[in-house]
Amino acid sequence: MIYTDRASAGRALGGHLENLHATYPLLLGLPRGGVPVAAAAREIIGGDLDILLVRKLGVPWQPELAMGAIGEGGVRVLNQNVLAHIGISPQEFAEIEDVERVELERRRLVWRGDTKPIPLDGRDVVIVDDGMATGATVVVACRVARLYQPESLVVAVPVSSAEALRRVAAEADQVVCPLVPRTLGGVGTVYEDFHQLEDDEVTALLA
């Protein structure tokens, strides 16, 4: 165990992001686990806090493999390299996207309601999660964020596998991660408290 909980991890992460303090960055937590990390990091470096709502479109028989992703406002990113090799039909793809859009909309209503997201264009944006095992979710988050033309895009996580770092480094301008174990059995293994967050916990952090 390295971190007591996500908040302690966020404060530790904030210490590695202090160079961003002067830029008044926009920290985007990936719900659910990335939000308490981002909120705690913001206590150290300041800036704005928001969420980045994305849903990975996983290959049905290998859900961790992203064939694309969707975000708010109808944004969709396709992974053409994956699509070219899996032979999924347009109907199958549409069915998966429909399911994920329902969940995306549910989360938007719960955590945003009628509030619009903070604009990313021209901002120094920091995407925050509680850790990366494969990096797949963060990769698609980066691709969605890029569509909104931020000034710079940083990914910050308390822990990551070496493989995930390499994948995400190709998508972000900078990746900040203070802990890269030789082997990572799972993100939760470095947390004393890694409970499944409820919707209302995220709501309270964003209030």
The predicted pLDDT at position 104 comes to 92
Mean pLDDT of the 28-54 span: 96
The predicted pLDDT at position 29 comes to 98
The predicted pLDDT at position 11 comes to 97
N-terminal to C-terminal alpha carbon distance within the chain = 30
Pair of tokens at residue 136: 């797949």
At residue 51, the 3 state secondary structure works out as strand
The answer to whether residues 46 and 146 belong to one domain is: yes
The predicted pLDDT at position 137 comes to 85
50 closest CA partner among 63, 64, 61, 39 = 39
The predicted pLDDT at position 82 comes to 87
- pLDDT-based confidence at residue 7 (cuts at 50, 70, 90): very high
The answer to whether residue 38 sits within a structural domain is: yes
Is residue 27 over pLDDT 80? yes
Mean pLDDT of the 36-43 span: 98
Separation between Cα atoms, residue 60 and residue 78, nearest integer Å: 15
The answer to whether residue 1 sits within a structural domain is: no
Higher pLDDT, 134 or 138: 138
The answer to whether residues 195 and 98 belong to one domain is: no
Whole-model pTM: value is 0.89
Separation between Cα atoms, residue 81 and residue 162, nearest integer Å: 22
The answer to whether residue 170 sits within a structural domain is: yes
Pair of tokens at residue 69: 């992703």
Mark which of 93, 111, 129 sits at the end of a domain. 111
Is residue 170 over pLDDT 80? yes
Separation between Cα atoms, residue 4 and residue 10, nearest integer Å: 11
54-111 pLDDT per residue, tens: 888 989 998 877 888 888 878 888 888 889 999 999 999 999 999 999 999 999 999 9
CATH number, domain containing residue 193: 3.40.50.2020
Tokens 């064939």 belong to 67
Mean pLDDT across the chain: 93
The answer to whether residues 125 and 44 belong to one domain is: yes
The answer to whether residue 26 sits within a structural domain is: yes
Report the number of secondary-structure helices (H) and strands (E) in the chain.
Answer: 7, 8
Mean pLDDT of the 149-160 span: 97
The predicted pLDDT at position 23 comes to 95
The predicted pLDDT at position 16 comes to 97
The answer to whether residue 134 sits within a structural domain is: yes
- pLDDT-based confidence at residue 140 (cuts at 50, 70, 90): confident
Higher pLDDT, 113 or 192: 192
**In degrees to the nearest 10, what's the CA dihedral of 140, 143, 147, 151?**
120
Mark which of 65, 88, 111 sits at the end of a domain. 111
The predicted pLDDT at position 63 comes to 81
The predicted pLDDT at position 136 comes to 83
The answer to whether residues 125 and 189 belong to one domain is: yes
The answer to whether residues 179 and 98 belong to one domain is: no
The answer to whether residues 134 and 182 belong to one domain is: yes
In the sheet with 62-71, reading across from the earlier edge strand, the strands are 54-59, 62-71, 76-78
The answer to whether residues 16 and 44 belong to one domain is: yes
- What is the domain count for the chain? 2
Mark which of 65, 84, 111 sits at the end of a domain. 111
The answer to whether residue 172 sits within a structural domain is: yes
The answer to whether residues 29 and 124 belong to one domain is: yes
The predicted pLDDT at position 47 comes to 97
Range of the domain at 61: 55-111
The answer to whether residues 35 and 132 belong to one domain is: yes
